[in-house]
Amino acid sequence: MAVLWVIVAAPIAAACQRLTLALMGEELGADYVRTARAKGVPTASCCRGGGSAERRCGCDDGWTMTADELRACCLAPPGALEDFPFGPETSVFKVGGKIFALSALGREPLQVSVKCEPDLGASLRESYAAIAPGCHLNKRHWITVTLGGDAPDRLVRDLVEDSYDLVAPRRPQA
């Protein structure tokens, strides 16, 4: 009976809890979500509330991503590691020995540099004032995003994931 609970009921219960929290957040609005986050109460799949097992991290309710949330977002993909080859102030996030994101997490304003397809990078730089060519990096393949600007947190998370996907080792196809 215990095995049946682990296989069937536990995942369903977890999904119901996530759905309930998500609906509560939508029903009660952004003020509730901010208050709950400040108190450490889980809201949807919010990074501050403990998050979920999903690869994506955090909700996007107009709250600006913190350095801890950015770190969690960069470390969420499988095999992602944090390293400090440029000194203790610069976090370098790698997968398979290749860099996919860099950030001085203690600096204000908080920025993150990510690898990006050249055409997408050019389009994003034209669309958002908070996105610039990669600082001290190949400006064709890297962009730097200033958090808290006009680029929403959801876009930042998507860019981190896309950067990871660009450099992650490929599995050989059978």
Domain match, 87 and 143 both: yes
* Total domains in the fold of the chain: 2
Query: Are 23 and 87 within one domain?
Result: no
Residue with the two structure tokens 């996105």: 131
Condensed to tens digits (0 to 9), the pLDDT of residues 57-102 reads 444 445 689 999 999 999 999 999 999 999 999 999 999 999 999 9
Q: Quick one: pLDDT at residue 62? A: 57
What is the average per-residue pLDDT within 11-39? 44
Claim to verify: residue 32 and residue 86 sit in the same structural domain: no
> Percent of the chain at pLDDT above 70?
62
- The residue count of the chain comes to 174
Q: Using the CB atoms, write b or e for 47-80: b if 16+ within 10 Å.
A: bbbebbeeebbbbebebebebebbbbbbebbeeb
Average pLDDT over residues 23-40: 44
pLDDT digits over 109-139, tens only?
A: 999 999 999 999 999 999 999 999 998 999 9
Domain membership of residue 13 as a residue range: 1-60
Is 76 found in the same domain as 110? yes
Domain containing residue 91: CATH number: 3.90.1150.30
Q: Please determine, for residue 8, whether its predicted confidence score (pLDDT) is greater than 90.
A: no
State pTM to two decimals.
0.65
What per-residue confidence (pLDDT) applies to 15?
Answer: 45
Together in a domain, 92 and 170: yes
Q: Are residues 107 and 81 in the same domain?
A: yes
